[in-house]
């Protein structure tokens, strides 16, 4: 079963803000000449990168034995076996990217160390239900952070 990552309003606001800066720098480039050309090019590349990540988002796939996370370059995807998963937490502190209320904080073990991932599937409740079913274990939810 595949799930796309949820888009947040914060990402959209950031893209719109950088897009406005890009338009202003392009206007300044035409009015004042090549003095602002470098700034315009940097902002154009930044905007293109942000649009790429906004429209081609992370995907999660729950197979029979693993959770597969597909990300786009320069990030690398990963595969986490259900047997390595310990538990998860839902929610956050409510502010910024790290505290979105619909995020899932998955705690798992890799190379003998406890690690965690922040997942944000569009349909969180269905994702958790499928994850519990596919893992075949009683993956428990921790208290809210």
* Phi, psi (rounded to 5 degrees) for 63: -90, -170
Answer whether residue 65 is part of any domain: no
Q: Side by side, which strands form the sheet with 78-81?
A: 2-4, 59-62, 66-70, 78-81
Answer whether residue 8 is part of any domain: yes
- The reported pTM is 0.66
Question: Are 88 and 43 in the same domain?
Answer: no
Q: What pLDDT, in 10s, does the model give residues 19-67?
A: 888 788 778 777 877 667 777 778 788 877 777 777 777 889 999 899 9
pLDDT for residue 96 is more than 90: no
Answer whether residue 62 is part of any domain: no
Alpha-carbon distance of 7 to 57, in angstroms, equals 8
Give the chain's domain count: 2
Q: What pLDDT, in 10s, does the model give residues 100-112?
A: 555 788 889 988 8
Flag the least confident range among 24-28, 50-54, 89-93, 114-118. 89-93
Answer whether residue 66 is part of any domain: no
Boundaries of domain holding 97: 82-141
């Amino acid at each position: 079963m595949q799930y796309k990552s949820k888009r947040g309003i914060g990402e959209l606001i950031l893209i719109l803000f950088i897009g406005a800066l890009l338009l202003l720098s392009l206007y300044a480039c035409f009015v004042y000449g090549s003095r602002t050309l470098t700034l315009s090019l940097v902002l154009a590349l930044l905007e293109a990168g942000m649009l790429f990540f906004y429209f081609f988002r992370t995907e999660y796939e729950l197979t029979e034995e693993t959770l597969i996370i597909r990300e786009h370059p320069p990030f690398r995807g990963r595969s986490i076996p259900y047997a390595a998963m310990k538990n998860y937490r839902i929610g956050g502190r409510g502010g910024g990217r790290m505290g979105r209320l619909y995020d899932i904080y998955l705690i798992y073990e890799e190379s003998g160390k406890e690690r965690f991932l922040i997942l944000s599937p569009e349909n969180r409740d269905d994702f958790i239900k499928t994850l519990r079913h596919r893992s075949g274990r009683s993956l428990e939810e921790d208290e809210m952070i």
